[in-house]
Amino acid sequence: MKFFLDSAILSEIETVYKAGICDGITMNPSLVKKAVDEAKAKGEKMSLETYLKKALKIAKGTPVSLEVTELNAKGMIEQGKKLFKKFNPVAKNVYIKIPINPSFPNEKEKEFDGLIAIKTLRKAKIPVNCTLIFTPEQALAAAKAGANFVSPFAGRIDDLLRTESKMKFEKTDYFPSGGIEDDGDMLNDNGIVSGIDLISECVQIFRNYGIKSEVLAASLRNARQVRECALEGADIATMPFGVFKELFSHKLTESGIVQFDKDTPKEFGKLV
Ligand code: E4P
């Protein structure tokens, strides 16, 4: 399974690439805003364009998803093409991120616009990551339209199930992949019992039909979810920097290193 970093923060991007464990980056407007705000707070003067170009260079050889902010097919296609033209020459690794459906609630006339944008951009040979996927049906539709990556959001499904059942939770809390029963009923969103269940069903459906689009498990909030994505056969897991660090942390690793350090004989240092 490939590991992607879900962040636009340059220092985080540099760290994971330096460690050789990152296979790509995903960004969205909220993540870019977070990076811009952090840079401003530190008094950094770099323009957003320079900032993104730096990120693309660090990630050279691996995909970087840049999301459109326009909300109809025409706008998304134009913006996607412009973003690709401006940024892809930097390191030839830009994927344009398109929401499956850019409609606001009660705005029904744009329901097909995400699919139209995906199809048009793919026809222009621009790689696409289809985002904001919350059902296997949406994943299937995105794949049919030609998306290279399809991004189901696991964590937000868990948030939805917990919120609807009025549970108190922190976003990073583990949510069982097999679901949670509340008053004898399994919590579910139209049959989906957890974020990992969503990932699992998308993987299963793509396998059933030999679909080439890759399942990019997104909105992951803890290392255990990453493990579960791997068990379910997701192609890619994108995760925030904190989850990357969690991947290789364990209290026994820490106590083990303390003990080894304490036990190291002085003579060992003279060996080499
Ligand atoms: C990735 O492509 C998504 O933008 C991201 O994983 C969303 O994560 P969140 O639900 O934690 O905001």
| pLDDT of 272 over the 90 cut | no
> What pLDDT, in 10s, does the model give residues 158-199?
999 999 999 999 999 999 999 999 989 999 999 999 999 999
**Strand 2-6 relative to strand 24-26: parallel, antiparallel, unpaired?**
parallel
The pLDDT-based confidence of 44 (bands split at 50, 70, 90) is: confident
Mean pLDDT of the residues in the chain: 96
What pLDDT is attached to residue 106? 84
Q: Look at 5 and 46; give whichever has higher pLDDT.
A: 5
For residue 267, how far is its CA from the centre of ligand 1 (angstroms)?
Answer: 50
pLDDT (tens digit per residue) in 56-113: 999 999 999 999 999 999 999 999 999 999 999 999 999 999 999 999 988 888 999 9
Identify residue 6 by its one-letter amino acid code. Answer: D
Average of per-residue pLDDT across 241-258: 97
Hey, what amino acid is at 138?
A: Q
Task: Give the C-alpha distances (Å, rounded to integers) separating 83 from 53, 68, 86, 90, 109.
Answer: 11, 8, 5, 11, 25
Q: Is the pTM of this model over 0.85?
A: yes
Number of domains comprising the chain: 1
Nearest to 57 by CA among 25, 82, 98, 34: 25
H or E segment to which residue 239 belongs: strand 236-239
Task: Report which protein residue has its CA nearest ligand 1's atom 9.
Answer: 219
Distance 132 CA to ligand 1 centre (A): 8
Percent over 70 (pLDDT), the chain: 100
For residue 134 and ligand 1, the question of a CB distance below 6 A is answered with: no
* Nearest residue to 58 via CA among 109, 88, 16: 16
| CB-ligand 1 contact for 158 (6 Å cutoff) | no
Domain with residue 117: its CATH number is 3.20.20.70
Ligand 1 atom at minimal distance to the Cα of residue 26: 2
Please state, for a pLDDT cut of 90, what percent of the chain lies above it: 93
- Separation of CA 221 and ligand 1 centre (Å): 9
Give residue 269's pLDDT: 86
- Catalytic positions are 97
Please give the pLDDT value at position 258. 98
Q: What is the mean pLDDT of residues 198-202?
A: 98
Of 6, 173, 199, which is best to mutate to test ligand 1, by the most ligand atoms within 8 angstroms of its C-beta?
6
DSSP code, position 235: S
- pLDDT in the model for residue 211: 98
- Cβ neighbours, 10 Å, residue 43: 6
- Secondary structure (DSSP) of 67-107: E----SHHHHHHHHHHHHHHHHHHHS-EEEEEES--PPTT-
Q: For ligand 1, atom 11, which residue shows the shortest CA distance?
A: 219
What range does the domain containing 159 cover?
2-269
Supply the pLDDT for residue 52. 94
Determine the atom of ligand 1 nearest the C-alpha atom of 218.
6
> In DSSP terms, which residues pair with 133 in a beta bridge?
152
* Residue 46 binned pLDDT confidence (cut-offs 50, 70, 90): confident
**Cα of 70 from ligand 1 centre, angstroms:** 18
